[in-house]
Amino acid sequence: MKSIESEIKDLIKKLFSEKKIEVFIGYENGTLPLRTTPYFVSPNDDLDKLAWNRFCSNNLAVYLPRVVAKKKGGNSCKVGILCKGCDSRSVVGLIKEKQLSRNDVFIIGIVCPGIIDTKKILSEIKSSDIEHIDEDDENIMVKFKDGKKNFRKKDHLYECCINCEFTTPFVYDTLIGDGKSSSNTITSSQKVAEFSAKSRQERWQIFEQELTKCIRCYACRNACPNCYCKECFAEQTKPKWFSVTNDLSDIIFYHIGRIFHQAGRCVDCGACVRACPMDVDLRLFTRMLVDEVKERFGYDPGLNFEEAPPLTTFASDDKQEFITEPS
Ligand code: SF4
Ligand code: SF4
Ligand code: SF4
């Protein structure tokens, strides 16, 4: 049977030859083991370098508006993109928010088996010892100079992949994969559920504590497809919302702004968490927001083009208990 990776290569070759796309955004293997990196391919580039494996973690939608704008230059141009469930929801979000047109993009959906958290594996071995990596249905097999070790895939997934509800893209032009790992109904995770169950004061304490690690590098913002503003509120000077210091109050202000801008937009792809060099557990806060939006408005972002995002619309029965009267 043809591997999914060969299927992707053959499809991209065909799409280029039929002139259905002019550029493709996919993955290639990284220079370090257990990692991949985004690969931007034009028709004359080496398609054999394209990769698909359980380490294809980037949400590639983040590059789409810039690649489309650059290629387009006034003419029509179609950009092909490989989308896991969460990535495809980001693409839908970008189209809904008018950052792209549906005609600009050819979505190659892929049924996502869940992505492996490289850091979980590297907490058990040293990357410099790795000689070869292979995988079967259940395991990642790592070979060293003097032995080998198997890692059960399901024990080494990213937090956001553990109970992912939307592994199969809802919107695509063509779909690769057998659809077996489609949605389940479990939401959130134990860690997020425990955090949500705490009192407001306890949650604030954890929020503050977690953010003491932040160095305000903005990698979380840069990795997120929803953060496409040409001028981010964090860098605006007129008005200046907060200072460029590493005081906790400034850090908190940035994060409150970033997190609330994600309401009804975050697809829980985990890109911001993976980008953070300080291991700030941003998912605690964004995932809680995802659950809150779902509970209040019954809305999951990026599943279709029709449903209006809750923060852009108003219903007479919307809960309003947060609105307080001056005493
Ligand atoms: S969040 Fe879901 S769709 Fe996205 S990488 Fe994880 S399992 Fe795949
Ligand atoms: S906030 Fe984080 S998890 Fe949510 S869409 Fe952006 S990168 Fe993905
Ligand atoms: S990526 Fe991490 S360290 Fe950088 S601004 Fe975001 S939370 Fe702070």
Summarize pLDDT for 36-56 with one digit per residue, the tens. 999 999 999 999 999 999 999
pLDDT of 175 reads 97
Helix segments in 47-173, DSSP class H:
64-72, 85-96, 118-122, 159-162
**pLDDT surpasses 60 at 107:** yes
Minimum mean pLDDT among 44-58, 63-77, 140-154, 298-312: which range? Answer: 63-77
CB contact at 8 A, 115 and 54: yes
Least-confidence region, from 82-96, 112-126, 229-243, 299-313: 229-243
- E strands, the chain, are 23-29, 36-41, 50-51, 79-83, 105-110, 130-135, 139-144, 147-152, 174-176
Inside any domain, residue 82: yes
- Residue 278 located in a structural domain: yes
The most distant pair of C-alpha atoms in the chain lies apart, rounded to whole Å, by 72
pLDDT surpasses 60 at 184 = no
| CA 76/CA 8 separation, integer angstroms | 24
Ligand 1 atom closest to Cα of residue 160: 1
Residue 74 tokens read as 């006034």
Please tell me whether residues 75 and 136 are part of one structural domain: no
Which residue shows structure tokens 């973690």? 57
CA distance 176 to 112: 9
Residues 228 and 102 in one domain: yes
- Two tokens, residue 293: 């939006």
Give the whole-angstrom CA distance, residue 244 versus residue 237. 10
| 148 found inside a domain | yes
Residue owning tokens 């304490």: 205
Of the chain, the percentage scoring pLDDT greater than 70 comes to: 94
Residue nearest to atom 8 of ligand 3 (CA): 214
How many domains does the chain fold into? 2
Say yes or no to pLDDT of 181 above 50: no
Which amino acid is present at 292?
E
Among residues 278, 188, 280, 268, the alpha carbon closest in space to that of 225 is found at 268
Which ligand 2 atom is at minimum distance from the Cα of 290? Answer: 4
Radius of gyration for the chain, computed over Cα atoms and rounded to the nearest angstrom = 21
Lowest mean pLDDT among 182-186, 225-229, 273-277, 278-282: 182-186
pLDDT of residue 171: 95
Is 313 a residue whose pLDDT tops 60? yes
Question: What is the residue range of 169's domain?
Answer: 4-117+157-308
Q: Work out the burial of residue 233: count CB atoms within 10 Å of its CB; fewer than 13 is exposed, 13-18 middle, 19 or more buried.
A: middle
CA 318 to CA 299: how far, in whole Å? Answer: 13
Residue 76 confidence (pLDDT): 61
Quick check: bond before 33 cis, omega within 30? no
122 and 199 co-located in one domain: no
Across the range 278-300, mean pLDDT stands at 93
Q: Is residue 323 part of a domain?
A: no
Q: Let me know if residue 317 belongs to a domain.
A: no
292 and 250 within one domain: yes
What one-letter code names the amino acid at 322?
A: F
Same domain, 255 and 240: yes
Q: 53-62, 291-300, 309-318 — which is least confidently predicted?
A: 309-318
Rounded mean pLDDT, 303-321 = 86
| 169 and 249 fall within a common domain | yes
Ligand 2 pocket test, candidate residues 64, 267, 280, most atoms within 8 A of CB: 267
Least confident interval from 26-30, 217-221, 240-244: 240-244
Residue nearest to atom 6 of ligand 1 (CA): 161
- Mean pLDDT computed over 103-110: 96
The pLDDT, as a whole number, for residue 266 is 97
Do 184 and 150 share a domain, yes or no?
no
Average pLDDT over residues 88-115: 96
Q: Is the pLDDT of residue 86 over 50?
A: yes
Q: What's the CA-to-centroid distance between 207 and ligand 3, angstroms?
A: 13
- The answer to whether residue 174 sits within a structural domain is yes
Q: According to the model, what pLDDT value does residue 242 have? A: 82
Q: What angle do CA 72, 74, 76 make, to 5 degrees?
A: 55
Which tokens is 60 given? 């590639």
Do the domain assignments include residue 129?
yes
Q: pLDDT grade, residue 323 (50/70/90)?
A: confident
Tell me if 135 is assigned to some domain: yes
Closest-CA residue, ligand 3 atom 6, reads 220
Residues 91 and 20 in one domain: yes
Q: Which of 111, 164, 303 to mutate to test the pocket of ligand 1 (most atoms within 8 A of CB)?
A: 164
Residue 246 has pLDDT above 70, yes or no: yes
State the virtual CA torsion across 144, 147, 151, 156 in degrees, nearest 10.
-40
171 and 250 both lie in a single domain: yes
Residues 22 and 83 placed together within one structural domain of the fold = yes
Distance (Å) of CA 257 to CA 64, 94, 286: 24, 19, 12
Q: Pull the structure tokens for residue 296.
A: 């209040």
Tell me the whole-structure pTM to 2 decimals. Answer: 0.92
Write down the mean pLDDT value for the chain: 91
Is the same domain home to 139 and 166? no
- Say whether both 211 and 285 belong to one domain: yes
Single-letter code of the amino acid located at 89 = R
DSSP letter for each residue of 196-242? HTS-HHHHHHHHHHHHTT-----HHHHT-TT---SS-TTT--TT--S
Residue 137 pLDDT > 90? no
* Ligand 2 pocket mutation pick from 232, 255, 266, 294 by most atoms within 8 angstroms of CB: 266
